[in-house]
């Protein structure tokens, strides 16, 4: 291998590594669909298990909060005008995700789509303040209007 071939090979190798890193970084920021976290039988998907403990992005709608000055809300697949836990007549959402933030939340209209980023946690958990039980949630989360 001459010098020119060596430089060409290392340049291609370097670009391949950089492209892989860029691709991985992009995929971490691309929103994951809530339904991709579950199998049809309700168990956690391979994707969910592989991403547990990692920061992921999920889009959806903020359900009306349970109470004011709270650091927790529910992200839903479809906009809900009422709190799904407060109305007995409300249809229970099929796809929900508990979102725990560091600071008190600023309510976003239920009709406005948001992007939420946080650490994915799997497994049963009951919030000590609200009593809300979840199987999957994002912690240390931030959100922004989409």
Residue 113: its pLDDT value, please? 95
| Antiparallel, parallel or unpaired: β 96-101 and 133-145 | parallel
User: What is the chain's pLDDT, residue by residue, as a tens digit (146 residues)?
Assistant: 554 444 444 443 444 443 443 334 444 578 999 989 988 888 899 999 999 999 999 999 998 876 777 888 889 998 887 766 555 444 545 578 999 998 888 889 989 999 999 999 999 888 887 778 888 999 999 999 88
């Amino acid at each position: 291998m001459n010098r020119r071939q060596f430089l060409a090979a290392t340049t291609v190798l370097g670009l391949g590594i950089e492209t892989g890193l860029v691709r991985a970084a992009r995929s971490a920021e691309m929103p994951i669909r809530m339904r991709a976290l579950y199998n049809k039988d309700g168990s956690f998907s391979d994707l969910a298990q592989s991403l547990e403990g990692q920061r992921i992005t999920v889009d959806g709608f903020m359900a009306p909060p349970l109470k004011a000055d709270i650091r927790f809300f529910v992200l839903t697949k479809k906009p809900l005008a009422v709190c799904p836990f407060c109305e007995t007549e409300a249809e229970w959402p099929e796809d929900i995700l508990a979102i725990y933030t560091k600071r008190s939340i600023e309510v976003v209209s239920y009709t406005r789509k948001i992007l939420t980023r946080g650490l994915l946690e799997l497994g049963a958990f009951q919030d000590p303040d609200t009593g809300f039980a979840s199987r999957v949630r994002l912690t240390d989360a931030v959100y922004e209007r989409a």
